Amino acid sequence: MNIEQTKEAIHVMQAFVDGKEVQCLAHNKEWITTDQPAWNFPSYIYRIKPTAKFRPWTADEVPLGAWMRFKRNPQDRVLLGWVSVQADRDLWLDEREYSTDGGVTWKPCGVVEESK
C-alpha cells in the first residue's frame, strides 16, 4: 500500500471505530455492509457506507399534478400546479410532503442523493 492508500484505510477504520457503517466490495461487485470487517486490504476494497441525503427539487423535477401538504398541518392540501422559485422549493423540502398516489403515501419534496 502506498501512503494515499494507507491514509484512506486509516480513514475507513477510524470511521468504523466512530460507529459508522463500513462496506466491503464483494466478488460479485456489490457493496456488502459488514459489522466485523476483516481489514484484508490486499484482497478487498473497503469504504464508509454512503448515506442518503435529500436536496430540494430543481424546476424540472417538480411533479406537477401531485398533491402537496404541510407537515405541521396535514389536512390542508394543494395540487402542485406550479414550479415556483428555488427559495420556495427549499422551504418545501423542510415544511411539506407530496403524494403521487392520491394521498396514500407521502414523501419529502426533494430528491435523494447519496453522499460519500
Q: Does pLDDT of 53 surpass 70? A: yes
Same domain assignment for residues 44 and 96: no
Range of the domain at 34: 3-49
Nearest to 12 by CA among 28, 27, 30, 24: 24
**Mean pLDDT rounded to a whole number for the chain:** 92
The answer on 109 and 67 residing in a single domain is: yes
**What integer is the mean pLDDT of 74-91?**
91
* 45 and 65 part of one domain: no
Instruction: Give the SS3 label for residue 4.
Output: helix
- Cα–Cα–Cα angle for 30, 42, 19, rounded to 5 degrees: 60
Query: Is 102 found in the same domain as 66?
Result: yes
Radius of gyration from C-alpha coordinates of the chain: 20
* Residue range 13-49, pLDDT digits in tens: 999 999 999 999 988 889 999 999 999 988 889 999 9
Distance CA 9, CA 44 (A): 11
pTM over 0.75: no
116 pLDDT higher than 80: no
Burial of residue 58 (number of CB atoms within 10 Å: 0-12, 13-18, 19+)? exposed
pLDDT at site 93: 93
Domain count, the chain: 2
